């Protein structure tokens, strides 16, 4: 039985198998490129999916795209990226650009595509319907300027996810005095007035939705009133997930989400990633540095998803070396006779996956298996590929692939072949040393020179 830590109950809960489980994960706000800290939280839902699918559980996943509310002055767009208008293009065009970039990044990290990926801007009707229902039920109220607020006091169990209870919340002064339009300072906007594009006409006036109502409406529309797992980054616990839970549960009349699961923050060089600090690393930066993007996935899995982790370029390079070494070893083991999986190692690794996604323990078992001389190479091959269904590191990519020479090595090999044919042994020896420096090992045979890459 797979187990996962539930943020609301504050204990590790069993995920009860069913014919199909429904999972909602908070998707990107596409006002800027996603950095690798953003991508870590999306790995969480992918790992949950892969672990449960290994148990033959089918998942239906919804991951939203927040593509509204990205204009200048929109505090909900986030403080760590430039608003869409600053890029000098229409908001919709910029949102699509960053959405496509996000999809490329998730594909490069081998994150499974969700069954549903609704855009907020294309799902306004169910949001308006949900707001109208909350007003009718007495959980929300409209004010004269066209805003609609949720009545926080109407939801007595507010705070079960984050621990921030209504009676302990202090009025916030970040944007000035307490909003006089609110009945209670902790009430939050469901709809807010606005002009220009994109905004929409509603019974309360022209405006746009809050990101909180977006997730409630899209979750209820695409997954229904029973959601098994809801994931997101730890920063979304409060207020976003508290507000979302209050809205959804009030509309449905019961607890909608069974398990709330959150991934911890990623630091880089010991600091949170933010545009304001210039500490942002994109997946494209990793690729431009010559590293495999799946080295990022491996580096993430070296730590538990709910532990804060600090990466740096040395850690990413180390993960890249491990990834390339394992692919090379798997290719070597593929040449050996087939053999059954190493049952003890595989069972222990799978138990680690089931134990609240203990990927660090699973990776330690793989390293142990790699160096266990008592296990036949064919068994190592079968075991690594079996566990790669969850790890998703593409460990089989080197099988049958001709090794690729480093830049300039082909020319050096040609020069050495000519020197050897002319019996110019000093030049041949010098070129052999030059090739060794770039990782190409050359030896002479009666049939001519042969070479291998140093890591193979």
Backbone angles phi, psi at 228, to 5 degrees: -75, -40
Report pLDDT digits (tens) over 230-269.
999 999 999 999 999 999 999 999 999 999 999 999 999 9
116 annotated among ligand-binding-site residues? no
Beta strands in 97-226 (DSSP E): 140-142, 148-150, 188-193, 207-209
Contact between residue 35 and residue 281 where contact means Cβ atoms under 8 Å apart: yes
In the block, tokens 């890591």 appear at 455
- Longest Cα–Cα distance in the chain: 94
Structural element, H or E, at residue 451: strand 448-453
CA distance 216 to 11: 24
pTM (two decimals): 0.85
264 annotated among ligand-binding-site residues? no
Instruction: Determine how β-strand 448-453 pairs with β-strand 440-445.
Output: antiparallel
User: What residues does 271 pair with on adjacent strands?
Assistant: 268
Report pLDDT digits (tens) over 350-403.
999 999 999 999 999 999 999 999 999 999 999 999 999 999 999 999 887 766
Backbone angles phi, psi at 322, to 5 degrees: -60, -45
Measure the CA dihedral 197/220/24/8, to 10°. Answer: 110
Token pair for 308: 């804060």
Contact between residue 87 and residue 222 where contact means Cβ atoms under 8 Å apart: no
26 annotated among ligand-binding-site residues? yes
Domains of the chain in start order, with CATH, are 3-263 (3.40.50.620), 268-391 (no CATH), 409-453 (no CATH)
Report pLDDT digits (tens) over 299-347.
999 999 999 999 999 999 999 999 999 998 999 899 889 899 999 999 9
160 annotated among ligand-binding-site residues? no
User: What residues does 11 pair with on adjacent strands?
Assistant: 6
Q: Quickly state the pLDDT bin for 447 (edges 50, 70, 90).
A: low
Token pair for 86: 């600053």
């Amino acid at each position: 039985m797979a187990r996962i830590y539930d943020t609301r109950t504050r204990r590790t809960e069993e995920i009860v198998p069913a014919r199909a489980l429904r999972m909602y994960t908070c998707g990107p706000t596409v006002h800027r490129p996603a950095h690798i800290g953003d991508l870590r939280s999306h790995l969480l839902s992918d790992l949950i999916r892969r672990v449960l699918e290994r148990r033959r559980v089918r998942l239906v996943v919804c991951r939203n795209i927040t593509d509204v509310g990205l204009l200048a002055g929109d505090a909900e767009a986030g403080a760590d990226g430039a608003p869409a208008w600053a890029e000098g293009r229409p908001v919709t065009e910029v949102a699509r650009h960053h959405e496509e970039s996000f999809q490329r990044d998730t594909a490069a990290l081998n994150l499974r595509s969700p069954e549903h990926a609704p855009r907020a801007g294309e799902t306004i009707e169910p949001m308006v319907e949900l707001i109208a229902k909350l007003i009718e039920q007495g959980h929300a109220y409209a004010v004269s300027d066209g805003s609609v607020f949720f009545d926080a006091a109407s939801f007595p169990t507010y705070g079960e996810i984050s621990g921030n209870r209504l009676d302990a919340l202090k009025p916030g002064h970040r944007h000035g005095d307490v909003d006089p339009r609110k009945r209670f300072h902790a009430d939050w906007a469901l709809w807010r007035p606005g002009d220009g594009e994109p905004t929409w006409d509603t019974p309360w006036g022209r405006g746009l939705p809050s990101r909180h109502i977006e997730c409630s409406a899209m979750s209820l529309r695409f997954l229904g009133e029973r959601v098994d797992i809801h994931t997101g980054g730890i920063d979304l616990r409060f207020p976003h997930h508290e507000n979302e839970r209050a809205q959804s549960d009030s509309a449905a009349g019961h607890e909608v989400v069974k398990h709330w699961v959150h991934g911890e923050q990623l630091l880089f060089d010991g600091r949170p990633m933010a545009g304001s600090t210039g500490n942002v690393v994109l997946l494209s930066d990793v690729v431009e540095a010559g590293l495999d993007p799946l080295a990022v996935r491996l580096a993430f899995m070296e730590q538990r998803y709910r532990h804060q982790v600090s990466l740096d370029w040395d850690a990413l390079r180390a993960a890249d070396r491990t990834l390339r070494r394992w692919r090379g070893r798997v290719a070597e083991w593929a040449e050996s006779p087939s053999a059954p999986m190493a049952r003890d190692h595989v069972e222990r690794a799978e138990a680690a996956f089931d134990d609240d996604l203990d990927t660090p323990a699973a990776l330690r078992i793989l390293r142990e298996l790699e160096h266990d001389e008592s296990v036949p190479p064919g068994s190592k091959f079968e075991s690594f590929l079996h566990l790669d269904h969850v790890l998703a590191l593409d460990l089989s990519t080197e099988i049958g692939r001709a090794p690729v020479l480093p830049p300039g090595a082909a020319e050096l090999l040609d020069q050495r072949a000519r020197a050897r044919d002319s019996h110019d042994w000093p030049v041949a020896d010098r070129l052999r040393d030059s090739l060794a420096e770039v990782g190409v090992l050359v030896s002479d045979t009666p049939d001519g020179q042969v070479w291998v890459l140093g890591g193979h």
